[in-house]
């Protein structure tokens, strides 16, 4: 049957020339047997399996002709699924679905990837006729939907990758991972913040000299518990002279360092400038047994109580004593902690040495001695806590029995 254009339905684009070996009849020659299966007619154009004339709708892209604007769009469920993907619809709303990306298996010009031109010169390959010719159009729709699905997967991957890049990747959030490089500053990602907490260094213990040069708080009229505790430990006598064994007690509740006091007694008494001069005497500290005497560090009120046992009044001037009627040599804790005006705060260390030498000197049988030469060093047995100016003769502070060694 002829259509309105006068062409016979199902004919290819024949030139109308007579067949070889025969005269022209004005009629077009029917395609040879099997041409429909091969998709080829004379002239090298593919035969439309549905009886329609080939045109740009199907082969425009292959022939270099712009394809028709109308392209079978994705089904509604694909469009809705694509809109729900992360990052979909980020651009301005145009009222229509975003165009599908090219199919993953398509070439750069829109033709199927890997498609080969047949011997007749077409580039359609065998894809359109794979289902038997009549279903060739289904192959194109399948590729379109495949392309949409591939585009959706690609979009999902792109969104995931982009999210990892923005968020730091690898599941890390917030600051960059340790060891990363700051692209703006070139510095390591682990930076030092201004509000960081700096660990406090462990306090360095004070030396013996530093402790002996430090004042300690203590009230001048303090009355502590009245109970004594033995400072534990011992120290051997370093010399070979006459040995004196002593114990160190400290009154409880004063907050003073008993170990420091015991160390000071041992070091002072065995110094060559003290009573151990020239090896005449040596002193050994013990914490048990029966000592020759007990050196006791006590509060002002307790000191006065023990000194009163030997008929001595120390409370009025807040001084120390050797309580000869007992076994205790009493060192006033206020004087030990705060010193005296005669030495001043800067000489608290030598003042403490004078206290020990002076009171132990009484235990060894020495009485008070006053300075006789103005400007000379005061004798260690002078009452230096009270004054360095006796009978108008002013002397200098001195903690040692033999100051020159």
User: Which of 282, 274, 290, 296 has its CA nearest to residue 235?
Assistant: 282
pLDDT digit string (tens) for the chain, length 405 residues: 444 444 434 444 344 444 444 444 444 455 445 444 444 444 444 444 444 444 444 444 444 555 555 556 666 666 566 565 555 444 444 444 444 444 444 444 444 444 444 433 444 443 443 344 444 444 555 555 566 666 665 665 665 555 555 454 444 444 444 444 454 444 444 455 567 777 888 999 999 999 999 999 999 999 999 999 999 999 999 988 999 999 999 999 999 999 999 999 999 999 999 999 999 999 999 999 999 999 999 999 999 999 999 999 999 999 999 999 999 999 999 999 999 999 999 999 999 999 999 999 999 999 999 999 999 999 999 999 999 999 999 999 999 999 998
| Confidence at residue 405, expressed as pLDDT on a 0 to 100 scale | 83
| Confidence at residue 192, expressed as pLDDT on a 0 to 100 scale | 57
The CA distances from residue 5 to 1, 9, 15, 43, 352, in Å, are: 11, 10, 15, 21, 133
User: Which of 275, 270, 251 has its CA nearest to residue 363?
Assistant: 275
Neighbours of 403 (CB within 10 A): 13
Looking at CATH, the fold of the domain delimited by 209-366 is given as Collagenase (Catalytic Domain) (3.40.390)
Please report, to the nearest 10 degrees, the dihedral formed by the alpha carbons of residues 99, 105, 108, 111 taken in order.
Answer: -90
Tokens at residue 387, please?
A: 């004054």
| Confidence at residue 72, expressed as pLDDT on a 0 to 100 scale | 60
| Confidence at residue 75, expressed as pLDDT on a 0 to 100 scale | 63
Question: Could you tell me whether strands 228-230 and 242-251 are parallel, antiparallel, or unpaired per DSSP bridges?
Answer: antiparallel
Question: Please, which residues have CB within 8 angstroms of residue 322's CB and are 6 or more apart in sequence?
Answer: 310, 329, 330, 359, 360, 362, 363
| Confidence at residue 289, expressed as pLDDT on a 0 to 100 scale | 94
User: Which of 302, 298, 355, 295 has its CA nearest to residue 328?
Assistant: 295
């Amino acid at each position: 049957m002829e259509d309105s254009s006068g062409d016979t339905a199902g004919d290819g684009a024949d030139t109308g020339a007579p067949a070889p070996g025969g005269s022209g009849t004005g009629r077009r020659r029917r395609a040879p047997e099997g041409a429909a299966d091969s998709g080829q007619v004379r002239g090298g154009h593919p035969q439309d399996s549905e009886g329609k004339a080939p045109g740009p709708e199907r082969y425009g892209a292959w022939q270099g002709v712009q394809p028709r604007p109308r392209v079978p769009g994705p089904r509604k469920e694909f469009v809705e699924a694509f809109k729900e993907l992360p990052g979909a619809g980020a651009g301005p709303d145009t009222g229509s679905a975003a165009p599908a990306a090219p199919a993953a298996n398509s070439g750069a010009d829109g033709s199927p990837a890997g498609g080969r031109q047949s011997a007749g010169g077409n580039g359609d390959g065998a894809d359109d006729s794979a289902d038997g010719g009549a279903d060739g159009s289904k192959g194109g729709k399948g590729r379109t939907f495949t392309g949409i699905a591939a585009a959706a997967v690609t979009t999902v991957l792109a969104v995931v990758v982009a999210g990892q890049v923005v968020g730091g990747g690898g599941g890390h959030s917030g600051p960059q991972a340790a060891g990363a490089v700051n692209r703006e500053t070139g510095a390591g990602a682990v930076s030092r913040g201004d509000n960081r907490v700096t660990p406090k260094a462990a306090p360095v213990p004070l030396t013996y000299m530093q402790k002996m040069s430090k004042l300690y708080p203590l009230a001048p009229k303090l009355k502590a518990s009245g109970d004594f505790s033995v400072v534990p430990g011992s120290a051997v006598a370093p010399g070979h002279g006459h040995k004196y064994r002593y114990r160190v007690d400290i009154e409880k509740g004063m907050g003073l360092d008993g170990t420091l006091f015991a160390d000071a007694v041992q070091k002072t008494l065995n110094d060559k400038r003290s009573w151990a001069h020239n090896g005449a005497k040596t002193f050994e500290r013990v914490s048990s047994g029966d000592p020759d005497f007990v050196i006791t560090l006590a509060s002002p009120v307790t000191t006065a109580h023990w000194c009163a046992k030997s008929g001595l009044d120390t409370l009025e001037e807040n001084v120390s004593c050797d309580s000869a009627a007992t076994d205790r040599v009493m060192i006033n804790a206020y004087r030990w902690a705060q010193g005296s005006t005669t030495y001043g705060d800067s000489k608290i260390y030598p003042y403490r040495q004078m206290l020990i030498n002076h009171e132990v000197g009484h235990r060894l049988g020495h009485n008070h001695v006053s300075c006789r030469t103005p400007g000379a060093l005061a004798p260690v047995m002078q009452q230096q806590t009270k004054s360095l100016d006796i009978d108008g003769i002013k002397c200098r502070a001195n903690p040692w029995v033999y100051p020159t060694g």
